[in-house]
Structure 1
Amino acid sequence: MAQHWIATRPGDLEVFSFEPYDAPAPRSGEVTIEVRAAGMNPADAKHVARGRDEDFPRPIGYEVAGVVTAVGPDTEIGSGTVTVGDEVLAFRISGGWASEVTVAASAVFAKPASLSFAEAANLLLAATTAAEMLHVTGVGEGDTILVHGASGAVGVSVLQQAAMLGARAIGTASGSSFGVVERFGGTPVAYGDGLEQRVRDAAPDGVVAALDCVGTDEAVDVSLATVADRSRIVTIAAPDRAKDEGFIAIAGALPESQAYRDSVRADLVRLAGEGRLVVPVARTFALADAVEATELLMGAHPGGKLALEP
């Protein structure tokens, strides 16, 4: 019998429950995946904490990588034909923190051989978010941009994708994470008092767009102070400030965000397979240790992505 993590009600980690279950047989348009790695994202815990009572109990986890064990009739995956035994990754799904999961085939893509299961399981939530941030702010060749939280998972993907577009990125980070920002093509600046002036010193000709991955008042204030056009400021973590100040907020639950992120999945998988989009993985945990892993994820900066391995 398979096992999976569910949240029994809205709340913190005390509502997480590791339970046996039977993954349903795939119908037409579905496949069953034996999970080799489940990706971990702050959204996994945040959406449980902020959920509505009527949405529970709910399975946890939005992305996985593994091996196909069953294919529904007349079914192709997002990348084309599929057979039992194929290595795949999947996003956006529900219930990825599991040993086996049956999902919509349209969310499944062939896993590049160059990626480990842990890397593949952590690719698409961060990468599609980063891609949308660059898209809505119109970042292109020759632009200098400001990235708040540049050493985090989304920030690292923003840095890499911005470089592919020919843009230069100034990235805020703690001093201990400067090496991460530099590794992925950014110019690091320390957050904290005096950030606005440090940004101006690093970009004497100015920044044309700001991409906020952290949602602090400091990040928003410096973005507003340094970017003239508010249509080129975007946040994934400060929606209330965006509404009040007239700049862009995006979120995976918004229909327009979902549509765009779904549309770029195949390209991002291709880029990762070519080695042009790297997924830094800091640590893996046994699936049964998901609560311990989540404590690390939501606490001190883990230094890269985390994965659960059944």
Structure 2
Amino acid sequence: MHSRQTALRRTFVCAAVAVAVFAASPAAADDYPNRPVTFITPAAAGNSPDVATRFIADRLGALWKQQIVVMNRPGAGGLLAAQAASTVTPDGYTLYMTQASTFTVLPVTQAEKAGPLLKTFVPIALIAEQPIAVSVSPAIPVKTVAELIDYIKKQPQTVQFAASNRGGQSHLTGELFARKAGVKMTYIHGPSAATSVTDVTAGRIPMMFEGIAGVAGAMQGGAVRVIGVGSGKRLSNYPDIPTIGETVPGFESQGWIMLMAPAGTPDAIVQKVANDLRGIVEDPAVAKRFAAIGTYPHWLSPADSAAYIKKQEDQWWPLVREVGVKR
């Protein structure tokens, strides 16, 4: 009798395991999502990553016929958002829309907290890149990246560059440019891209590194001269502006936006979200809308997104250590 009860219990356990395996299969994503989804982002409300995130959320919500709530958790260089996103149930209903600096800076500046924390996420898809541009004041005799390098070399360490957010993408782009171009410059911190633009247009600082959207208005008005962009290829809406890499081989610097999920999220859900995002990101109408805010769609699969992060870490971590950025 005892042996029969034991056998029955084993049967029930096996059945339960089978059900669990079935639930994690692709069929489990068939009705996903059947309730609202939340995106947690380190972006501050109103900046370009936030605008892009909300646009994607609206398009994806319309596709799913479910509301997507965007929750802004700026602060601590992106650590607050990562912490909030790491504590949720890994069921696909709370996802993490991360930014470049969270992975390229935090693991160095806050290694004990951020290092282990960021390993608790799995990439869903890279969504877009936000290239950094180098701009100069019309008051200096520089119209190309090559001329800028020559201008700096003639007065080493006396040429200043402005960039917002110490340790952020704009600042690090300036530092990377100095090393790859073999020049020496002095960094001047500005609290915002607007401050950098004001300093350069007023002639107080000769050059700056900022996202293309932040300088577009000043460029169109002739107040600054954008001479190069950090993208891998020329931008669709600014085809006459060369890439910095055309003069400084191998140079590339872009912010980026990627959707991630807490580790343990069913793979079927990760793949579904990635595939649905691809249809949105590769829509020409989205590319046009994004370009207006200096954002350029670039979809990558979960596996390719993971490789992309690794490449970014390899590029930026040594520089962050060398610059000695502290947060």
The TM-score range, normalised by the shorter chain, is: 0.3 to 0.5
* Larger relative strand fraction: 1
The structure carrying a bigger helix percent of its residues is 2
Higher RCO, Cα 8 Å, sep 6+: 2
